[in-house]
Each structure stands twice: as C-alpha cells, then as structure tokens.
Amino acid sequence: MSQLVRPHGGGELLPLLLQGEALAAERARAQTMTRLRVSSRERGDILMLGIGGFTPLDGFMTHADWQGVCDGMRTASGLFWPIPITLSASASAGIRTGQEIALEDPDDGSILATMLVTEVYAIDKAHECASVYRTTDLEHPGVRMVMEQGELNLAGPVKVLSQGGFPEKYGELYMTPAQTRALFTELGWSRIAAFQTRNPMHRSHEYLAKVAIEVCDGVLVHSLLGALKPGDIPAEVRTKAIGTLVQHYFMPSTIVQAGYPLDMRYAGPREALLHALFRQNYGCSHLIVGRDHAASAATTAPSTPTTSSTTCRRARSRRRR
C-alpha cells in the first residue's frame, strides 16, 4: 500500500470548499453580504485554500503572520510558510473587523468565497517586496502585484464556494490534492517528484524527469494554470506540448500530468519553497528545482536544478549496480 508524505503541518488535508447543502446555504447567505472584488492573484489563493492546496491555512493571514513570514518565513504559530497569503482592500471599502464579506471573481463577479474579517491592518509594502522578491523595482511583476494592492489587508477564515471554472476549462488535467493523492495510492507510489513548470518542457527537463523516475516511483509534471506575465507560454499551449511528451517520450505509468490554479508570483527561491510546500499537500515527497526557479526574467537559459547533482549521482550509481 502507498505511504504518501503527510500534508504540510503533519495533519490531514484541509480543503475549505463547501459542498451539498452547506454550499447552497452559504451561497444564499453571501447574497446579503458586502462584496469585495479580489485580484487575480488573490483568486488563485482562494482556490488553493478551497481545494486544500494551502493546508493547513484556514484563510488569509493576520498582521503577525505577515510579519513573521516576511522576516522569518514562519507564521505567528511557528508554521513554516515562505510567502504571505494576504487579501487587500481599499480604505474606501469601509470593511470592519467582525464583518462577513463575499469575495468576487475579478473577471465575472461571481462569488468565490465568504470571509469573516478578524483583523484589518496596514503593511509596509516595500518591506514585503524587499523580503519576498529581494527588490522594490516596479518592473518586477511580483513587486507590481504588491504595490497595486489596496491600502489595507484583511485577515480571517474563508468558506470557498467555487473552483473558479478551472475544472470546466481544463477537465481531467485539473486535479485537487485529494485527487492526486488517490491516484498515487492507486498506482502504489510513495516517492513522487514534482516538476514545476510554467513553460513547455525542453530536453533538459525531459532528462531530469527521467532521472527522477530512476530514484522515485514517478513524477508529477505539475503545470501552473493561473495568470502569467506577458511573454510566458499560455497554459493551453504548454499542457498540449507536455501531453505529447507524456504520450511519446516517457515510459507508461511513470508520469502524471496535472495542473493547479495559482498565478505566478516570480519570487525566486521563496516561490520554490512555496512550490515544495504545497506539492507536499498534493502527495509529493520531492521537488525538481531549477537554477532560476520562478525567476522574473523574460527568458532564461536552460537550467540545471540545484538538487540535480545528488540525484544524478544516485542514478548513475544505481545503473552501475
């Protein structure tokens, strides 16, 4: 029987997406609430909270959490977390502590979630940018995301009501952590390497995935389906290219291709850590990390993963035996 790595924090998956009667009741209640339209990045965070990808978080971070994550990559409770998961609002919205609000999709205005606001606070945006992105340059796409936020952050637990149309758009390619864990268990896998990508796989990527297969049970090629900066390859093109590789260049039953709903933040090493963290929730025990993982440059040279030398030595030794 497959023995998968535990979700982040050591407990069980914590999906916040309501179902059945609870979903219908909360959707009805949401119609009476003050509405707040979220950003594309915030929508991705809501969806990850909904499907359990951000286990064990139950909502958006407090000021103490924000400060601890910026300065030491830990929440106020001591949980390792490398990038703040926050929700912003303008001061003119007039949202108060103790209020329940409905969070709207930035594209069509549908209600994604409801939230109990437990804290309203201001942050030093430049401090977040310097800590997380190591720059305050407004040309950096992640810095621009932070600087364009509202003046205030809202903390509190959420109840998620929607998956934002991703299942309908991407079909079986879109998988939740519960679904990948069930699939890995069915396959008998317990050591799974995740390969993060926002671009089609080139030959070095193909080689690295095959090396990982030699020391793991299989590889999850996990493609970002959310928003990207201009110049990056759209998910529809990228996933078709990866699908061709899976069909023609990898051994059957060694690769699973799936997607997830986040936007890229382009936070470099901190985003690599976030990618490793939530892949643990998806059931992965290892992550293939590139030299310029989550870099903001428009183009980067084919990268050699920082973890590849040990992996390759193990693989060569295994072949010799």
Strand pairing class (152-160; 119-121): antiparallel
Cβ(24)–Cβ(302) below 8 Å: no
Here the tokens at position 25 are 């009741």
Neighbours of 210 (CB within 10 A): 16
Cβ(309)–Cβ(208) below 8 Å: no
Which residue of the set 27, 74, 191, 199 is catalytic?
199
Residue 219's SS3 state is strand
For residue 260, report the phi and psi dihedrals to the nearest 5 degrees: -140, 160
Which residue of the set 41, 181, 198, 279 is catalytic?
198
Residues 6+ apart with CB under 8 A from 109: 37
Q: List 158's β-bridge partners, or say none.
A: 115
Query: What is the Cα–Cα distance from 213 to 62, expressed in whole angstroms?
Result: 40
Q: Cis peptide before 56, with omega less than 30 degrees from 0?
A: yes
Strand pairing class (218-224; 192-197): parallel
Residues 6+ apart with CB under 8 A from 206: 245, 249, 250
Is 203 in the active site? no
What's the alpha-carbon Rg for the chain, to the nearest Å? 20
Is 144 in the active site? no
Which positions are annotated as active-site residues? 198-199
